Amino acid sequence: MLEALKLSELREELHVSYSQIRTYLMCPMKYYHQYVAGTEASHRPTALVFGSAIHHALAHYYRNLQVAGEKIQEGDLLEMYTDYLDEELDRPIPLLFDDPDDEGKLKDKGVALLQMFHEKADCPTVLAVEQPFAIELVDPTTCEVMEPKLVGAIDLIIEGSKRPEIVEHKTTSKRYSRWQLDLEMQPSVYKLAAQELGLGETDVRYQLLVKTKSPSLQQCSIKRSSQQIQEMTETFCQVLSAIEAGHFYRNRSWACQDCPFRHACDGCS
């Protein structure tokens, strides 16, 4: 039986999230604008909002499966997605579209993805949907316990053939390669979170909704060694130390093109 943790309560304590660490690793200055200075964003990244809308619909699919033991109707699944997206489109900070038609195309793309998902998805025994967790990070080199806890939520936990299985949903424009999966740090986070939640040994799988012209579902089993978990912990602790020390520098890359803080970043020395 999983502990009934509330994400909002875990977030009341000093904490850091996986996406905050990822933001720092991508560009420390972006982290600074987003999480330290509270700089107003010029826009919201379209891919992020799209991914959230798909996640919202999938959470609804699996919650319904957990409670009713059967697939939700396709129309209800699509409604969860379109309602969420409409609300997001109404918010004051705009999404960035190159072309006014792109708004409709975005909606259509999500509908096609979810229709494909509804047709292909199986009906596992659901143990938890969006299960919150909090992990104490201990620096493996110094044994220092980091003050902020790593807080987040696991998309889905199901009963696997041998042990519980953690499933992460992602939307992507192309299929993941094996080397790309090997570099992902999120599965290591989930392995630690599973231990913290008392799940013991777990399997981890990415369920990828691929946004190609003909949408597809890619299922990727992911293994993690204790060395990879230790490397993730070490990296996260080093990021936390760098944040604590105020190291916020620009890391110019392809990501600057779509950065919501570019106006502030380019304007200050």
Contacting positions for ligand SF4 (CB under 6 A): 27, 29-30, 33, 250-252, 255-256, 259, 261-262, 265
In terms of Cβ atoms closer than 10 Å to its own Cβ (0-12, 13-18, 19+), residue 98 is: exposed
Minimum Å distance from CB 264 to ligand SF4? Answer: 8
Minimum Å distance from CB 123 to ligand SF4? Answer: 42
CA dist 18 and 37 (Å) reads 19
CB nearer ligand SF4, residue 39 or residue 216: 39
The 3-state DSSP class for residue 45 equals: coil
CB nearer ligand SF4, residue 25 or residue 181: 25
CB nearer ligand SF4, residue 7 or residue 242: 242
CB nearer ligand SF4, residue 207 or residue 251: 251
DSSP designation for 147? S
CB nearer ligand SF4, residue 33 or residue 149: 33
Q: Residues of 123-137 as b/e, b for ≥16 C-beta within 10 angstroms?
A: ebebbbbbbbbbbeb
Minimum Å distance from CB 69 to ligand SF4? Answer: 46
CB nearer ligand SF4, residue 223 or residue 252: 252
Minimum Å distance from CB 71 to ligand SF4? Answer: 41
Q: Name the residue among 106, 55, 89 with its Cα closest to residue 209.
A: 55
CB nearer ligand SF4, residue 175 or residue 250: 250
CB nearer ligand SF4, residue 72 or residue 243: 243
User: Going by C-beta distance under 8 Å and a sequence separation of 6 or more, which residues neighbour residue 58?
Assistant: 117, 155, 156, 169
Q: How far is CA 245 from CA 18, 116, 194, 237, 268, in A?
A: 19, 47, 31, 12, 21
Q: Name the residue among 7, 262, 219, 27 with its Cα closest to residue 129.
A: 7
CA dist 160 and 203 (Å) reads 8
Taking residue 154's Cβ as centre, other Cβ atoms within 10 Å add up to: 24
Minimum Å distance from CB 266 to ligand SF4? Answer: 7
Minimum Å distance from CB 21 to ligand SF4? Answer: 15
Q: Cα(first)–Cα(last) distance of the chain, in Å?
A: 53
Minimum Å distance from CB 33 to ligand SF4? Answer: 6
Minimum Å distance from CB 260 to ligand SF4? Answer: 8
Structural element, H or E, at residue 182: helix 178-183
